[in-house]
Amino acid sequence: MAKRVAFELGGREIEPGTQATVNLPVSVMPDHTPVHLSVEVIHGKRKGPVVFVSAAIHGDEVMGVEIARRLLGSVSPDKLRGTLMVVPIVNTLGFLNRSRYSPDRRDLNRSFPGTKGGSLASRLAHRFMHEIVARSDVGIDLHSAAVHRTNLPQMRVSPDTARPLQLSKAFGAPVVLISPLREGSLRAEAREMGVDVLLYEAGEGLRFDEMAARTGVAGILRVLHALEMVSARGIPKLKADPLVCKESAWVRAPAGGLLRVQKGEGSLVEEGERLGTISDPFGETEWVVTSPSNGIIVGRAVLPVVNEGDALFHIAEITALEDAEDRVDQLQTQLAQSPLFDEDEII
């Protein structure tokens, strides 16, 4: 039986059964401080797929960084089959600036596949595609809602993709949302390279959310188990299948004012049901915000001060609410009871 070879990245060789941090040069700041794309490579003793986990492509999405940190304390190179590459912070400069965007004001997740001689975001996207994505079989990309919004833990998959849908169901977030690919996104450009990327959305920018963190870590471990990279020991089993929703829409503010929320993320709602109420500061006029369809709230605004046209509630459509109710209850209970994977519990 041939010996498993070392994994090479950025001029470093990681031997089987070991792990190492590899710093890939990206740029140099104006004060001469070097900027790296730092990757933790866990190279298992036995053969298996190559999977990457990435976070903070948007610099303000700190939730994914915490999930990556906990994940690294939950996987042992001695017991891993295949290779796991974890990139806790992709957009380093955006992260340092607490900004969604790169210093060149570009959205990194609209800059893929990038070019070697392009803008700063384009160069980083190019490096990530060629050093990380091109080496992988599957990727898991971690995101949070945009500023002043929050998301229910959910998976996003593109239409007509069987394996990503299967793996997203195995992940175990309450909702799997069928979402079209966007030009320039990591998910779209990775698919062009033949690499399936799962997208996990949960929580709020610049904020931690314990339920979102636990769901993310347990979900990644379930995907690794589905790929036969880790054993099932210690990974909580799913109590119900996630809800797969094919359509979703944002409900927008009919007027500016102060929003009082009656339904939060994860709530099942019927068509015409009240989601919230907007009032003017004097309390003389009120506008009722209602659901346009039967569904589940997968995202919402968190600021009470809203302008006319602001996106308030993200509703994923569900046709059979009765069937969904028990499943949502089981999934929400499971999320609350998910164990806290951390450095003291190695799988």
In sequence order, what are the beta bridge partners of 250? 314
| Tokens standing for residue 141 | 């990309």
- 3-state DSSP helix/strand/coil % of the chain, to nearest 5: 25, 35, 45
By the 8 A CB rule, do 269 and 291 touch?
Answer: yes
Q: How many whole angstroms separate alpha carbon 122 and alpha carbon 233?
A: 41
- The share of the chain scoring above pLDDT 90, in percent, equals 87
Q: Has residue 323 got a pLDDT over 90?
A: no
Alpha helices in 136-209 (DSSP H): 162-171, 186-192
Q: Has residue 324 got a pLDDT over 90?
A: no
Is residue 113 reached through a cis peptide bond, with omega within 30 degrees of 0 on the bond before it? yes
CA within 13 Å, CB half, 44: 21
32 sits in the region (left: phi over 0; alpha: psi -120 to 50; else beta) called left
DSSP 125-145: HHHHHHHTGGG-SEEEEEE-P
Q: How many whole angstroms separate alpha carbon 104 and alpha carbon 81?
A: 39
DSSP 241: P
Q: What is the mean pLDDT of residues 300-316?
A: 97
Q: Has residue 269 got a pLDDT over 60?
A: yes
Q: How many whole angstroms separate alpha carbon 70 and alpha carbon 79?
A: 17
**One-letter amino acid for residue 125 of the chain:** A
Place of tokens 């993200």: 314
pLDDT of residue 341: 47
Chain centroid offset of residue 135 CA: 20
| Tokens standing for residue 2 | 């041939």
Q: How many whole angstroms separate alpha carbon 207 and alpha carbon 220?
A: 20
In sequence order, what are the beta bridge partners of 35? 27
By the 8 A CB rule, do 202 and 215 touch?
Answer: yes
Q: How many whole angstroms separate alpha carbon 159 and alpha carbon 13?
A: 38
CA within 13 Å, CB half, 24: 24
Question: In this predicted model, what pLDDT tens digit does every residue of 44-86 receive, in sequence order?
Answer: 999 999 999 999 999 999 999 999 999 999 999 999 999 999 9
Q: How many whole angstroms separate alpha carbon 124 and alpha carbon 92?
A: 10
By the 8 A CB rule, do 261 and 219 touch?
Answer: no
Is residue 292 reached through a cis peptide bond, with omega within 30 degrees of 0 on the bond before it? no
DSSP 6: P
Question: In this predicted model, what pLDDT tens digit does every residue of 117-140 receive, in sequence order?
Answer: 999 999 999 999 999 999 999 999
Tell me the pLDDT of the chain averaged across its residues.
Answer: 93
Q: How many whole angstroms separate alpha carbon 227 and alpha carbon 171?
A: 11
Using alpha carbons, select from 111, 161, 135 the residue that is nearest to residue 41: 135
Question: In this predicted model, what pLDDT tens digit does every residue of 25-45 receive, in sequence order?
Answer: 999 999 999 999 999 999 999
